């Protein structure tokens, strides 16, 4: 019998099926022939053919599992990179040499990582869903700017909705000895900003809002517009569900979001969400946060550092 196992055995679900059928047919013929009086079939030859077919099927299955596409797909899935992005990456490298594919994938991912080089502005607003770390992030940034870089920083909060929210930021302002203002209505916003005219940077904290509550979001938008801020950061936790990113991005885009901050990277062991967020929100990354410590746990990673996190080659302890 021809040694089919040496042929090119690529892909071939169909071939596998054909072979399985052939194998089944042979097996049933064999059974029948066992009971026929004039059986001339040499059973040992038949068994060896069947063994060959079995080996060939194994080779086919292994070949498929070992293919670059398969291994890469599994690896990217393990990093929690979204299905859409994985398919896009694999399609892009489909027709290039296997040896080049991994580098090309890394290059493509790097293209998606856009860093905001000038993340600072005179007036900066932080918006986002509840509990993602907006207030803590503002405290970290204020600490870095006021304590380490000796800048004049002012803090404003419009979060009079949640009990304790004002005290949370006020406490940080007192510890850092920097001006602090609470804005209760739209009219207050103007005067609060005016009172901080001398500050190099004014950081504005907002109430966490669900992306599904359009009323609350329009109210928030009015405050953001009134602040005249040109630097509007959407704060998202790295543990955000893939399916939610698009909904959040779409609803917050109306607020003029033009930067993103990714928080709580210390709470995850896979970093595909960085890529998912950047691709979906489609604005530059200002910085990331990596823990609850104020002001230490704020980081300004390079593209290479983010790439190695996304690819699972590095981690944040």
Interacting residues with ligand GTP (CB under 6 A):
130-136, 159, 162, 165, 208, 263-264, 266-267, 289-292, 297
Q: Which is nearer to Mg ion, 132 or 275 (CB)?
A: 132
Q: Which residue is nearest to ligand GTP (CB)?
A: 208
Nearest distance in Å: CB 81, ligand GTP: 21
Query: Site map for Mg ion, 28-67, x if CB under 5 A?
Result: ----------------------------------------
Nearest distance in Å: CB 183, ligand GTP: 15
Nearest distance in Å: CB 295, ligand GTP: 12
Distance CA 221, CA 253 (A): 10
Q: Are 267 and 288 in contact (CB under 8 A)?
A: no
Nearest distance in Å: CB 307, ligand GTP: 20
- 163, HSE (Cβ side, Cα atoms, 13 Å): 0
Give the three-class secondary structure for 187. Answer: helix
280 binds, among Mg ion, ligand GTP, none (CB under 5 to 8 A by kind): none
Distance CA 27, CA 22 (A): 8
Query: Site map for Mg ion, 95-134, x if CB under 5 A?
Result: ---------------------------------------x
Nearest distance in Å: CB 199, ligand GTP: 21
Buried b or exposed e, range 113-146, using 16+ CB within 10 angstroms: beebeebebebbbbbbbeebbbbbbbbbbbbbbb
Q: Are 142 and 155 in contact (CB under 8 A)?
A: yes
Q: Which is nearer to ligand GTP, 280 or 297 (CB)?
A: 297
Q: Is 237 in the site for Mg ion (CB under 5 A)?
A: no
Buried b or exposed e, range 251-267, using 16+ CB within 10 angstroms: bbeebebbbbbbbbbbe
Q: Which residue is nearest to Mg ion (CB)?
A: 135
Q: Which is nearer to ligand GTP, 165 or 255 (CB)?
A: 165
Q: Which is nearer to ligand GTP, 83 or 162 (CB)?
A: 162
Element (H, E) at 303: helix 303-310
Give the list of residues 6+ apart from residue 88 with CB closer than 8 angstroms, or none: none
Strand order in the sheet with 180-182: 180-182, 153-157, 201-205, 123-127, 231-237, 259-263, 285-289, 298-299
Q: Which is nearer to ligand GTP, 254 or 292 (CB)?
A: 292
Q: Which is nearer to ligand GTP, 105 or 261 (CB)?
A: 261
Radius of gyration of the chain (CA): 30
Q: Which is nearer to Mg ion, 135 or 290 (CB)?
A: 135
116 binds, among ligand GTP, Mg ion, none (CB under 5 to 8 A by kind): none
Could you say which of 80, 124, 125, 135 contacts Mg ion (CB under 5 A)? Answer: 135
Report the alpha-carbon angle 113-134-228, nearest 5.
Answer: 85
Distance CA 170, CA 173 (A): 5
Binding site residues, Mg ion, CB under 5 A: 134-135
């Amino acid at each position: 019998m021809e040694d089919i196992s040496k042929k090119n055995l690529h892909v071939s679900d169909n071939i596998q099926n054909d072979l399985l059928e052939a194998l089944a047919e042979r097996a049933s013929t064999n059974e029948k022939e066992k009971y026929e009086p004039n059986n001339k079939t040499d059973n040992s030859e038949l068994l060896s053919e069947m063994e060959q077919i079995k080996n060939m099927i194994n080779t086919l299955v292994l070949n498929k599992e070992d293919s670059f596409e398969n291994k890469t797909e599994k690896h990217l899935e393990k990093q929690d990179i979204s299905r859409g992005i994985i398919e896009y990456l694999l399609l892009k490298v489909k027709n290039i040499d296997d040896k080049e594919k991994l580098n090309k994938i890394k290059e493509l991912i790097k293209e998606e990582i856009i860093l905001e080089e000038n993340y600072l502005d005179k007036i900066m607003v932080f918006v986002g869903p509840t509990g993602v770390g907006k207030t803590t992030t503002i405290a970290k940034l204020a600490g870095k700017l006021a304590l380490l870089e000796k800048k004049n920083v002012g803090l404003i909060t419009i979060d009079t909705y949640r009990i304790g929210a004002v005290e949370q930021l006020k406490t940080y302002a007192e510890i850092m000895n920097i001006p602090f203002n609470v804005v209760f209505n739209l009219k207050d916003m103007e005067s609060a900003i005016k009172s901080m005219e001398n500050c190099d940077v004014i950081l504005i904290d907002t109430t966490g809002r669900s992306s599904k509550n359009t009323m609350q979001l329009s109210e928030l938008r009015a405050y953001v517009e009134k602040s005249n801020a040109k630097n509007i950061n959407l704060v998202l936790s790295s543990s955000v569900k893939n399916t939610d990113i698009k909904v959040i991005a779409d609803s917050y885009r109306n607020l003029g979001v033009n930067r993103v901050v990714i928080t709580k990277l210390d709470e995850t062991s896979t970093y595909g969400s960085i890529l998912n967020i950047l691709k979906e929100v489609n604005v530059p990354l200002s910085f990331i946060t990596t823990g609850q410590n104020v002001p230490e746990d704020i980081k300004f990673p390079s593209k290479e550092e983010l790439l190695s996190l996304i690819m699972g080659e590095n981690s944040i302890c």
